[in-house]
């Protein structure tokens, strides 16, 4: 950045003033505001990720299988027990 600024004819002090805060008293407030906004954004992104993964998990596991996978199917019915007596 400094090299580009020098090519444009700016001094180092002018370059620093363009990219950084001029007054030190406001930089602390600005830093707190920046970190607060960043924290809120990170929390929102995390909540969205958790919501989407829960939604995908609930849709993918919502099946009405009578028998779990790997088990044999039963052909026995209630009327079979009545005939045996």
Q: Is residue 29 part of a domain?
A: yes
Q: Is residue 36 part of a domain?
A: yes
Q: Is residue 85 part of a domain?
A: no
- The Cα-based distances of 22 to 3, 32, 42, 57 in angstroms read 21, 16, 28, 50
CB 2 within 8 A of CB 12: yes
Residue pLDDT, tens place only, 10-62: 887 887 777 665 556 667 788 888 899 999 999 999 999 999 988 887 766 65
Residue 85 has pLDDT above 60, yes or no: no
Q: Is residue 80 part of a domain?
A: no
Domain that holds residue 35: 1-53
Task: Give pLDDT, residue 5.
Answer: 75
- The pTM of the full predicted model, rounded to 2 decimals, is 0.44
Task: Give pLDDT, residue 9.
Answer: 84
Residue 64 has pLDDT above 70, yes or no: no
Q: State the total domains in the chain.
A: 1
């Amino acid at each position: 950045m400094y090299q580009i600024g020098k090519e444009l004819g700016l001094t180092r002090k002018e370059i620093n003033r363009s990219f950084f805060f001029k007054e030190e008293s406001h930089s602390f407030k600005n830093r707190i505001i920046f970190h607060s906004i960043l924290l809120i954004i990170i929390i929102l992104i995390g909540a969205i990720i958790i919501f989407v993964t829960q939604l995908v998990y609930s849709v993918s596991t919502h099946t009405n299988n009578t028998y779990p996978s790997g088990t044999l199917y039963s052909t026995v019915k209630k009327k079979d027990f009545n005939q045996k007596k």
